[in-house]
Amino acid sequence: MTTFLQLTVNGLGKGAVYALLALGFVIIFRATGVVNFAHGSLVLLGGYLVYATRDALGYFGAVAVGIVVAGLGALLVERLLISRTRLADPIALALLTIGVDVIVLEEIVRRLGTNLPFLNAPFGNEVLRFGEVAVLRAQLVALVVGGLIIAAFFLAFRYTGWGLAMRAQAENREASALMGIRSARVTASAWLVAGALAGVAVVFIATQDFSGAGLSRGTHAIALVAFPAAIIGGLDSTAGAVLGGAIVGLTEAYSAEYISFDFSKSAVYIVMLIVLVVVPSGLFGTKEIHRV
Amino acid sequence: MSDARQELARAAPVDEAAVSPESPQATVGDDPPPQTPLDTRPPRGRGDIVRWVAWVALAVVLLALPLYLTTPWLRVGEYVMIGAVAAIGLTLLTGQTGQLSLGTPFFMLVGGTSYVVLAGQPSEISDEEFLGFGLPPMLALVLAVVVAAIFGLAFAPVAGRVKGIYLAIATLSLVYLGLYLGQSLPYITGGTASGRNPEDLTMFGFSFTSNDPEISLLGVPLRDTERLWWLFLVLTAIAYVLAQGAIRGRPGRSWRAVRDNEFSAAVMGVRVAWVRAGVFAISSAYAGLAGVMTVLWFGLLKADETEFAGTWSIVVAIGFLAMIIIGGLGSVPGAVVGAMLVNGLPLVIQLLIPQSSVLRELTGGDNGFTPIVLTAFVYGLAIIAVVLFEPGGLAALGRRFTNALNSRTKPTKGN
């Protein structure tokens, strides 16, 4: 039982980070209809900036820079490429992001060279004990930070003009444009926010406790987990992204313990396959109805 | 019809992709130049003869190349052919049917492993190291392709229902599955440490993968590399011709119907789920063949250590997508050209490094622009350029070029 509780806390900690990724992914999808294959390279971009600036700026300064640059990177992709291809179909847009991804990924991996830096926070990795349950502090920080950001996002999404504009546009792009919502601005802000979320996530991913590996090609692969998380929850559901992130985190934690560590990555994708077959539009996704 | 209704009832997730007939995709796949849905063959004329002569000339050149090229360059060509076979299969799925897949490396792994297992000699040691059935290698090759197709068909519950980009994400799971199975079944796949060697590919005592029996042509000794070139050439040609035939015929029409609008396709009597599952299996078979070729090319079957670097990894899957986008979605010749770029360029750069001090400087050092990085830049940029400026890819450019030539000589010909 203790193990189980421990796994649950750890899994939720990971899940919170995955939820940040999946949330960004869903925001982009809702705003532009783009399945963003470049999400992993946004993660790497933020992480690389943290690594490159932390000696000069200190940990928190570097993290801030990383988050901002990841957001700006996403904004740049939207402004320079996606906004110019309004009429292209979703597959073409997805392929476009693959092109971006390949370039950014290879460039950052090249710059890192044989350096695979951990982005751990400078303060210790001590284990906290709550009675029988031992929890890694980093996981708890991830859970709290992830939870706060997600809560802030949902509040903004629900109560601010920006959130209303986002929801309106996702509902009906033309009607919202006719109502005076500036479509370009909404879209751009969606990418900016999604990129920033990726920038937050990487600070947790490239650590000893989370992935056991420093910033590298592997970080990019971990970020791909945003796909199953988003698909499980429903690609156009922000709440679904959070749920999906949690499911993915828990699946990984449980299967690594109870089945085998090697299997845990595959387990996540198998859960996604099952969801796809049973509920093709995800747990919370809108079903699309076609009229012939 | 009931199928169609089921499709409607299920109402799979959002995807305007395949629906809009005016999407750039729609123009992409109409590959063989002037083609209407009803009439598949243009009348024979002078252009046809020119085309035949060009094909024969190309065939002669390709067949003669081993007599002139050195071994490393031949191996580049062989690697390109591997990419071409897999890319042709993928372009049928993605370009013709509008189903994105990242699962190609998995089916390559299945094909390659099947060949090695089926052709492998059963070890007679008591604690069997590797599984092997000892079938004739040529038969094993054919069966390996069949096995890959069966695996593809087994994915039908997903491949038939999930569409467009969603399938790409779903097939991502196959890459992870391949990684896991590859590592956890070392007596089949050879494991990650040392791998296992494939059986010599021999037919009637003639080996394609070794120097036995020794022969020479025009004073050029025909060793393993030369033989493998011809074998690959034949396999690629078969893959090419079959794909073109399918595209021009009934299967191709049903693929494009599903791609352009699955609901009108269903109304026209196309069984959408069947077509999707079927083309997925076909594309898996192509990948399986490419997998056998890969194993023969490396002379080794080895499971990957990670999902993001290796022979059967996500990077490879992205590479195949890049090939078919750059070449032009749905175009078979385009897939071959894309394979030249994506699979050929890194090896060519590698070969050129000793001769060029600029390249040496560029690629050297800890943070050097390795051939792989350079190639990634080239194809990343090419993908972006294609989507932004020429959604038809190189195939569309080529078509425009030949059309311009044709219209100069025969101004009346149009489509």
Q: What is the pLDDT of residues B327-348, one digit of tens each?
A: 888 889 989 999 998 888 888 8
pLDDT band for A7, please (50, 70, 90 cuts).
Answer: confident
Q: What does the alpha-carbon distance between residue B42 and residue B32 come to, in Å, rounded to a whole number?
A: 10
pLDDT band for B184, please (50, 70, 90 cuts).
Answer: confident
Q: What does the alpha-carbon distance between residue A103 and residue A125 come to, in Å, rounded to a whole number?
A: 34
Look up residue B117 and give its two tokens: 């297992």
Among A79-83, A164-168, A282-286, B179-183, which stretch is predicted with the lowest mean pLDDT?
A: A282-286
Q: What does the alpha-carbon distance between residue A169 and residue A186 come to, in Å, rounded to a whole number?
A: 8
Q: What is the mean pLDDT of residues A63-82?
A: 92
pLDDT band for B413, please (50, 70, 90 cuts).
Answer: very low
Dump pLDDT digits (tens) for B127-174. 557 777 778 888 889 999 999 999 999 988 888 888 888 888 889 889
Q: What does the alpha-carbon distance between residue B255 and residue B250 come to, in Å, rounded to a whole number?
A: 9
pLDDT band for B12, please (50, 70, 90 cuts).
Answer: very low
Q: What are phi and psi of A73, to 5 degrees?
A: -60, -45
Domain that holds residue A119: 2-215
Q: Quick one: which of B79, B30, B31, B71 has its CA closest to B339?
A: B79
**CB nearest A111 (choices: B17, B267, B367):** B367
- Tell me the DSSP string of B284-336: HHHHHHHHHHHHHHHT-B---SSSSSSTTSHHHHHHHHHHHHHH-TT-HHHHH
Residue B183 burial by Cβ neighbours in a 10 Å radius (0-12, 13-18, 19+): middle
Look up residue A240 and give its two tokens: 């679904």
Mapping DSSP to helix (H, G, I), strand (E, B) and coil, where does residue A291 land?
coil
pLDDT band for B54, please (50, 70, 90 cuts).
Answer: confident
Question: Which pLDDT does position A290 carry in this prediction?
Answer: 57
- Does the residue A41 lie in any domain? yes
Q: Quick one: which of A288, A289, A35, A219 has its CA closest to B100?
A: A35
DSSP 8-state symbol, B355: G
The reply to whether A227 touches chain B by the CB within 8 Å rule is yes
Most confident of B252-261, B262-271, B284-293: B284-293
Structure pTM? 0.85
How far CA A5 is from CA of A10, A11, A253, B129, B174, in Å, comes to: 9, 10, 11, 41, 31
- Tell me the DSSP string of B223-254: -HHHHHHHHHHHHHHHHHHHHHHHHHSHHHHH
Q: What does the alpha-carbon distance between residue A32 and residue A170 come to, in Å, rounded to a whole number?
A: 8
Substitution target in B308, B321, B367, B373 with the highest count of A β-carbons within 10 Å is B308
DSSP 8-state symbol, B197: P
Residue A243 burial by Cβ neighbours in a 10 Å radius (0-12, 13-18, 19+): buried
Mapping DSSP to helix (H, G, I), strand (E, B) and coil, where does residue B202 land?
strand
Q: What is the domain partition of chain B in residue ranges?
A: 2-13+36-409
The reply to whether B126 touches chain A by the CB within 8 Å rule is no
Look up residue A18 and give its two tokens: 């995955």
Substitution target in B169, B267, B268, B349 with the highest count of A β-carbons within 10 Å is B169
Q: What is the mean pLDDT of residues A123-140?
A: 73
**CB nearest B173 (choices: A103, A111, A273):** A273
* Interchain CB distance below 8 Å, A92 and B377: no
Per the omega criterion (within 30 degrees of 0), is the bond before B213 cis?
Answer: yes
Interface ipTM above 0.95: no
Nearest CA-CA distance, residue B360 and chain A, Å = 16
* Interchain CB distance below 8 Å, B8 and A96: no
* Interchain CB distance below 8 Å, A88 and B16: no
Calculate what percentage of chain B has a pLDDT beyond 70. 81
**What's at B253, amino acid-wise?**
R
Q: Are B290 and B188 in contact (CB under 8 A)?
A: no
Look up residue A238 and give its two tokens: 């922000």
Among A97-111, A228-242, B11-25, which stretch is predicted with the lowest mean pLDDT?
A: B11-25
How far CA B202 is from CA of A240, B140, B207, B223, in Å, comes to: 55, 11, 4, 14
Residue B412 burial by Cβ neighbours in a 10 Å radius (0-12, 13-18, 19+): exposed
Q: What is the mean pLDDT of residues A143-152?
A: 89
Chain B hits for A272, CB-CB cut-off 8 Å, are 169-170, 173
Question: Which pLDDT does position A100 carry in this prediction?
Answer: 93
Residue with tokens 């971006």: A100
Q: Are B72 and B351 in contact (CB under 8 A)?
A: yes
Q: What does the alpha-carbon distance between residue A122 and residue A103 come to, in Å, rounded to a whole number?
A: 31
Number of other CB atoms surrounding residue B317 within 10 Å = 24
Q: What does the alpha-carbon distance between residue B97 and residue B259 come to, in Å, rounded to a whole number?
A: 5
Which residues 307-346 in chain B show a CB within 8 A of chain A? Answer: 307-309, 314, 318, 321-322, 325
**What's CA B395's distance to the chain center, in Å?**
16
Nearest CA-CA distance, residue B315 and chain A, Å = 9
Chain B hits for A35, CB-CB cut-off 8 Å, are 165, 168-169
Chain A hits for B314, CB-CB cut-off 8 Å, are 221, 224
Helix axes B332-339, B393-409, angle to 10 degrees: 120
How far CA A260 is from CA of A209, A257, B111, B112, B208, in Å, comes to: 18, 6, 26, 26, 41
Look up residue A194 and give its two tokens: 């999604």
Number of domains making up chain A: 1
* Interchain CB distance below 8 Å, B318 and A266: no
DSSP 8-state symbol, A37: T
What is the per-residue burial (b if ≥16 Cβ within 10 Å, else e) of A130-165?
eeeeebbebbbbbbebbeebbeebeeebeeeeeeeb
Q: Are B88 and B332 in contact (CB under 8 A)?
A: yes
Chain B hits for A106, CB-CB cut-off 8 Å, are 372-373, 376-377, 380
Q: What does the alpha-carbon distance between residue A232 and residue A218 come to, in Å, rounded to a whole number?
A: 22
Question: Which pLDDT does position A179 carry in this prediction?
Answer: 85
Nearest-by-CA chain A residue for B165: A91
Helices then strands, each counted (H, E), chain A:
11, 2
Q: What is the mean pLDDT of residues A37-55?
A: 91
Residue A126 burial by Cβ neighbours in a 10 Å radius (0-12, 13-18, 19+): exposed
The answer to whether residue A93 scores a pLDDT higher than 90 is: no
What is the per-residue burial (b if ≥16 Cβ within 10 Å, else e) of B245-266?
ebbeeebbbbbbbbbbbbbebb
Q: Quick one: which of B395, B330, B392 has its CA closest to B90?
A: B330
For A127, the enclosing helix (H) or strand (E) is strand A127-130
Domain B2-13+36-409 bears CATH identifier 1.10.3470 = yes
Q: What is the largest CA-CA distance in chain A?
A: 61
Calculate what percentage of chain A has a pLDDT beyond 90. 26
Look up residue B349 and give its two tokens: 């750069």
Q: What is the mean pLDDT of residues B361-381?
A: 81
Question: Which pLDDT does position B65 carry in this prediction?
Answer: 82
